[in-house]
Amino acid sequence: MRMCKCSKGYIESLIDECRKRIFESLGFVEDGTSQELTLRPPPIETNSPQGKQNRKRLLRAWVEISSWISDFKRVNGKNSQEDICF
């Protein structure tokens, strides 16, 4: 297999795009009112059907991400804390 060189900016833009897609899939909306990127969370009121669905989706994401991080730490040892950056 041949190594492929990529600029650091290119890799960072791919990671940023991936993060953006993850948050969008969870119902977060990008708020364009400021210079910095801000995310507005989805409505989670328990008195509406959409709020209940959003709560379920966010809980599932939290459980799955926590499980993935736990497995990553188990496989990579105690020093894995600095290897995970969000």
> Is residue 81 very low, low, confident or very high in pLDDT (cuts 50, 70, 90)?
low
Check if the beta carbon of residue 55 is closer than 8 Å to that of residue 44. Answer: yes
Q: What is the pLDDT of residue 2?
A: 52
For residues 57 and 78, the model is more confident at 57
Q: What is the rounded distance in angstroms from the CA atom of residue 54 to the CA atom of residue 45?
A: 9
Residue that is written with structure tokens 């989706």 in the block: 57
Q: What is the rounded distance in angstroms from the CA atom of residue 30 to the CA atom of residue 27?
A: 10
Residue 40 β-bridge partners:
29
> Is residue 22 very low, low, confident or very high in pLDDT (cuts 50, 70, 90)?
confident
